[in-house]
Chains A and B, each alone.
Chain A
């Protein structure tokens, strides 16, 4: 039995492996009834309206209203596309993996209904290449849905068509950025595009394109079936609904927990995830994946876990992934680890991100090697300020925000680490920089 603080809506019945099959999805949660009703009896505007009224916010990171996004697509006969963003690559996030593995048909039904709202005739699931097992699950589920007539030509005899392709990426965090995803899907290197034009106007193959996260689309069938008021029984005024939250790092029971938004962060970490490991205490958390500014334990614990509360605290809910750093974790090393990730994943298209991530890594390496002075911390902060808002996409900001927050909130610890590492180093002797010692990727 799940914990009483969990609210399983998207994960309803997910403990049963039969849910991943079409028959199981129908038997356990009454699946595809909404698709049948929507395709047979509902008009585009009706579906759009119920999505807009629900206040469903995008679950991929930006938290933008899903219904509004769908309504931006122009009307007309041009080919339109829907892309499901399943390139979940943000460190700390693993909720989409769970949703796709345990309940692939919920996502397929959501895509089909959202395609109706967007007027799209062609849909894609862009899944990261690492999620091979989950892509296999989706492939099998899509084949079943075609077989049953829920996808393809003339769905259920309604003269409506929808083609759905599962497209595997090949390992690049940047492809989770929506315009980079489009480039990757068009068969190019995954570089972000300048916006505007936004994908809703000019996206895949130049056509209007709706791009939504796995969890956002998984919410669609139930919202259309039960209405906005039903959906708003959970969550807060500005963050309605439930959220699958990935909790990881220094906790006893890391994993995905579906909660009603607005649950106190303390309950999420201590009750659901079991709190810190024995003998340790929480020092800081990333509340919304590695790109969210870190919050100290004192700042975070009493906050409700919602989009607006995290924004008011100077951070963000992002993709809803909490990484807990306990008292054993060295914050400067964590900052370096974070910066290295973004440096590795920067596509190199725009200078602030390419150079900013590169130099941030070099400076943080100097900090942990004891070659830095307190002035370097000011330079690190200033570099972060100059990255923020100056990049083509938000990858640069995604490094700048957490690193700047760590330097600001844990400056004393940075200075300590610097001083400790500097002991015994003679500043007058030039030494070759040591080879990588921290096990960076590749």
Chain B
């Protein structure tokens, strides 16, 4: 089925790059692995990562969860945090950094205490995602809130939507961005009536315009 079926295998004389068939293996040079006593790892972080490692048949599988733990502890994947995780996992810091830099949700640069991701992909864009992103950027200007546009978050039913501190809200009007940021900074519940988790199944809402009216008020703004 795959277009590259047999490439490499079709000519046994060609060397096959093992990194292509098996994935790249991390550097295991023991010289580069920091010792635990060198890194001053908080005991609870160390325990957390050790628990995570024990869940998998091979410890390296815990690298993404370990980086999540580092990010939770320090707000982002700090170089020190990465060294600490590397010391616990017995892998090189470079390896963990290579993993962290691949994924959009792991931050290798400082970000704010709160994080807002606004979807700007197809369905949200059709219903005003770009305007919503602008509104959030304006509302969060100068605050300790990190705002970014993001690829499809898997909530096109509540378009345009935003993910605020890892919880989904929508459909949102640009005017609600300011309310949301205000609530976030004052510690109140953010837009409780717009929370995805409280929404009924689409087929159970037979009120006209049950989508929240975003499409009507937001003027699609497609072009």
Q: Which residues of A contact B63 (CB under 8 A)?
A: 187-188
A256 / chain B contacts, CB cutoff of 8 Å: 157, 201-203
11 A-B residue contacts at CB 8 Å? A6-B203, A15-B200, A130-B105, A132-B167, A188-B26, A196-B5, A253-B202, A254-B159, A256-B202, A277-B216, A330-B223
Q: Is A53 an interface residue (CB 8 A)?
A: no
- Show the binding face of A for B, using Cβ within 8 Å: 1-3, 6, 8, 11, 14-15, 62, 79, 88-94, 96-98, 101-102, 122, 128-133, 165, 167-173, 182-191, 193-197, 205-206, 246-258, 272-273, 277-278, 286, 290, 321, 323, 325-326, 328-330, 333-334, 337-338, 341, 344-345, 347, 388-394, 397, 438-442
Interface flags for B200-217 (1: CB within 8 Å of A; 0: not) read 111111101111000110
Write out the residue numbers on chain B whose beta carbons fall within 8 Å of the beta carbon of A131.
Answer: 154
Q: Which of B60, B123, B166 contacts A248 (CB under 8 A)?
A: B123
Q: A102 to B68, alpha carbons, bound, how many Å?
A: 25
CA distance A257 to B145 in the complex (A): 36
B56 to chain A: which residues have CB within 8 Å?
A: 165
Chain B residues contacting A189 (CB-CB under 8 Å) are 24, 98-99, 102
Name, among B4, B150, B208, the residue most crowded by chain A CB atoms within 10 Å (CB to CB): B4
On chain A, the residues within 8 Å of B167 by CB distance are 132-133
Say whether B152 contacts A89, CB under 8 Å.
yes
Q: Indicate which residue in B26, B152, B203 contacts A255 across the interface (CB closer than 8 Å).
A: B203
- A337 near B216: Cβ-Cβ < 8 Å: no
Are B20 and A194 within 8 A (Cβ)?
yes
CB-CB nearest in chain A for B167: A133
Cβ A392 vs Cβ B203 within 8 A: no
Residue pairs across A and B with CB atoms within 8 Å: the count is 255
Which secondary structure dominates chain A's binding surface? loop
- New A-B contacts (4) at CB < 8 Å, excluding given A194-B21, A441-B151: A195-B5, A330-B222, A334-B122, A391-B3
Least CB distance, A267 to chain B, in whole angstroms = 13
- A129 with B126: in contact, given A15-B204, A246-B156, A389-B3 (CB under 8 Å)? no
Judging by beta carbons under 8 Å apart, are B152 and A170 in contact? no
Contact A133 B220 (CB under 8 A): no
Q: Is the CB of B24 within 8 A of A191?
A: yes
* Count, chain B residues at interface, CB 8 A: 80
Collect the chain B residues with CB atoms within 8 Å of residue A93's CB. 154, 156
Contact A188 B201 (CB under 8 A): no
The listed residue (B60, B123, B129, B211) touching A253 by CB distance below 8 A is B211
How far is the CB of A107 from the nearest CB of chain B, in Å? 16
Residues of A within 8 A of B9 (CB): 196
For the complex, give the distance between the alpha carbons of A441 and B120 in Å: 7
Knowing A91-B156, A168-B64 touch, does A333 contact B223 (C-beta < 8 A)? yes
Contact, CB under 8 Å: A94 / B203 = no
Q: Give the Cβ gap from A294 to chain B, nearest Cβ, in Å.
A: 11
B45 within 8 A of A: no
- Contact A170–B106 (Cβ < 8 Å): yes
CB <8 Å contact, A248 and B149:
no
Pick from A170, A194, A347: contact of B104, CB below 8 A.
Answer: A170
> Top 6 A-B pairs ranked by shortest CB distance?
A255-B202, A248-B156, A171-B104, A170-B103, A171-B105, A187-B63
With a cutoff of 8 Å between Cβ atoms, the chain A residues found around residue B102 in the complex are 172, 189-190, 347
- B168 at interface (Cβ–Cβ under 8 A)? yes
Interface string of B1-18 (1 = CB under 8 A from A): 111111111000000000
| Chain B hits for A439, CB < 8 A | 120, 125, 129-130, 133-134, 149
Is A133's CB under 8 angstroms from B166's CB? yes
Look across to chain A and name the residue whose beta carbon is closest to the beta carbon of B8. A194
Which residues does chain B contribute within 8 Å of A191, judged by CB atoms? 23-24
Contacts of A390 in B (CB 8 A): 3-4
Q: Is the CB of B156 within 8 A of A168?
A: no
* Min CB–CB distance A176 → chain B (angstroms): 11
Residue contact A2 to B203, C-beta cutoff 8 Å: yes
B68 to chain A, nearest CB (A): 7
For the complex, what is the distance from the CA of A131 to the CA of B167, rounded to whole Å? 8
Inside 8 A of B197's CB, which chain A residues have their CB?
Answer: 101, 133
A333 to B122, CA, bound (A): 10
B122 contacts A193, C-beta separation under 8 Å: no
Give the distance in Å from the alpha carbon of A326 to the alpha carbon of B8 in the complex: 46
Q: Which residue of A lies closest to B221 (CB)?
A: A328
CB–CB B126/A329 < 8 A: yes
Residue of chain B at shortest CB distance from A96: B154
| B148: interface (CB < 8 Å) | yes
Complex contact A171–B129 (CB within 8 A):
no
